[in-house]
Amino acid sequence: MLKSRLAAGLVPYVPGEQPKGGKVIKLNTNENPYPPSPKAIAAAKDYDFSRLRLYPDPTAVLLRETVASTEGVKTENVFVGNGSDEVLSLAFAAFFDSSSSPVLFPDVTYSFYKVFCSLYGIAYDEVAVSDDFTVRISDYLDREISGIALANPNAPTALSLKRDAFVALAEAYPDKVIIIDEAYVDFSSQKSLVPLTKKYKNILVVKTFSKSRSLAGGRIGYAIGDVGLIDTLRSVKDCFNSYTVDSLSASIARASMLDEAYFAECVEKIKSVRAYAAFELVSLGFRVTDSDANFLFAAHEKKSGRELQSALRERGIIVRRFDSPRIADYLRITVGTREETETLVSALREILARA
């Protein structure tokens, strides 16, 4: 047998399609439709490529200092990694035990959480969201648990919880880590929960440069929390790979984070197009959740998700659909540019007119 028992039993995460060749409108992986900050691009052009012969700083201290300054925390409270997926994976390994007590997360959420649990042999319980896809915090209380992971806003539903919900969890489980995955928080009406990390030593907030800062290809993510959590993360990371953030990506990420004006401009444009797209989809007979992210989660009253996804693909538009019973008829549609969104709406109008 050429596989370990662990590898033989794994069901890996399936990433969104990355089409190769041909002109398509790619609305399936929640990438930012706008280029990175001009300052980030300049940093890439000015980078001294002779540095690539050297290992990068294993702690990425300059990037951590920039993140800390932007987020209003100390450098010692920041951990950085190769995308937020790596940060989340290390956090699952660092804080959730392979005991009989499960990690809790919603049954409709980022599917990587289940994969992490399978990889590390962690018991988990997928807590059912309500019929309107909202997370009921009462379902997470008074349980024997190893920890909790919640995306806020959630994916793929695009819905957010308010601050009080996480305060309730932190206070109910003071000796358990509550991971808050804020990949989409910059598009949300709710503020980041980073300030809670100063009061609650069991809250870890995870963020990414992939969405709002247009650096999905740069693979930079970070976590903010109590120094005890951050030190533990670093210890686990160094058991896998001491150099997870390369020096080029770190330089680009720093420059991006320092360009707050460009960041704010892009976020506002995405919010504006999101509102337009939601309005048009509702007018076409779609049910659309109240999106707090850079994507829409929508199902049509008459056409199945599979049919719509296929018909859009025939017209060169790629959207995401999850083949799970509760959400099989929903499409997750990234908010693109205004032009891309107008093309999407026109295509859907044509498809539905032929129904």
Contact 209, 266 (CB under 8 A): no
pLDDT tens digit sequence for 192-215: 999 999 999 999 999 999 999 999
pLDDT at residue 268 tops 80: yes
E strand segments, 194-252: 203-208, 221-224
CATH architecture under which domain 5-35+261-353 falls: Alpha-Beta Complex (3.90)
Per the model's pLDDT, the better-predicted residue between 274 and 100 turns out to be 274
How far lies 9's CA from each of 1, 5, 92, 119, in Å?
13, 6, 18, 9
Instruction: Indicate yes or no: pTM above 0.85.
Output: yes
**pLDDT tens-place string over residues 35-69:** 999 999 999 999 999 999 999 999 999 999 999 99
Strand order, beta sheet including 124-127? 78-81, 221-224, 203-208, 178-181, 147-151, 103-106, 124-127
Domain ranges of the chain: 5-35+261-353, 38-259
Q: Mind listing the pLDDT tens digit for each residue in 235-263?
A: 999 999 999 999 999 999 999 999 999 99
Kindly calculate the radius of gyration of the chain based on its CA atoms and give it in whole angstroms: 20
- Reported in sequence order, the residue ranges of the chain that DSSP labels E, i.e. its strands, are 25-27, 78-81, 103-106, 124-127, 147-151, 178-181, 203-208, 221-224, 286-288, 295-300, 317-321, 330-334
- The third-level CATH classification (topology) of the domain covering 38-259 is Aspartate Aminotransferase; domain 2 (3.40.640)
Q: Are 203 and 166 in contact (CB under 8 A)?
A: yes
Separation of CA 178 from chain center: 16
Q: Are 162 and 190 in contact (CB under 8 A)?
A: yes
